[in-house]
Chain A
């Protein structure tokens, strides 16, 4: 059971918009700790996609955006492309763990 809760899967057709939710609690997101998002393709290193809730590292397309409100955060992907098919993880700091916690991951399928 992950500390941060994500839907197991989402899907969308090419060109569409999808969102992935990440629900936490008062010891992590709700406490004001930043949320970061990662894209993970099997057999490769996870890639930082969004940091500090809504910032994109250099090279990440602006089709990816993040937001945070209350005890939740979300990742939005617009203009879906086949190469977006991957697993996506949210992450934050948790005061109970005194370290990082991840969501259980969401598999994005491009139909």
Chain B
């Protein structure tokens, strides 16, 4: 059974880079026709898709974070990662990783990890 697990620092200082990794178990990340996504939920707000990547490295980003967000697929392990530069308090959120088909329906999610941007 496919499982996803987010991992990374819980506290990030303003202006620094927020980095998270999603570990994938139960299936290979090198599967055609599927994408690996990052979604976040700021406190008291709804879900926001941030970006997705195919295992071949084709990435797409939400305009609100384009230029700050970089999503990559792990070169040797079954994982993918995100790096969000120039973090601000507005980036404080629960961050989820998920797997989706080309139609964007997200069938499998991680449990999420809370990241706080604060000095």
Contact = CB atoms under 8 A, between A and B. Distances in A.
B105 to A, nearest CB: 4
A45 B110 contact: yes
Given A38-B106, A51-B105, A93-B104, A101 B111 contact: no
Interface in B22-64: 37, 39, 45-49, 51-52, 60-63
B95 interface: no
A57 B107 contact: yes
B60 A98 contact: yes
Interface in B45-103: 45-49, 51-52, 60-63, 96, 100, 103
A40 B45 CA distance: 13
B106 A102 contact: no
A48 B49 contact: no
A36 B46 contact: no
Interface residues of B, number: 24
Contacts of B60: 98-99
Q: How large is the interface on A (under 10, 10 to 19, 20 to 34, 35 or more residues)?
A: 20 to 34
Contact of B49 (A34, A57, A100): A100
B96 A51 contact: no
Nearest to A46: B109
Given A45-B96, A99-B60, A105 B106 contact: no
Contacts of A48: 105-107
Interface in A53-111: 57, 89, 91-93, 97-105
B105 A101 contact: no
Contacts of A34: 103-105
Given A45-B112, A105-B47, A99 B62 contact: yes
A45 B49 CA distance: 14
Given A40-B47, A57-B107, A100-B37, 18 more contacts: A2-B46, A34-B104, A46-B47, A46-B106, A48-B106, A51-B103, A89-B46, A91-B104, A91-B105, A97-B62, A99-B104, A100-B49, A100-B52, A102-B48, A102-B49, A104-B45, A104-B46, A105-B46
Interface of B: 37, 39, 45-49, 51-52, 60-63, 96, 100, 103-107, 109-112
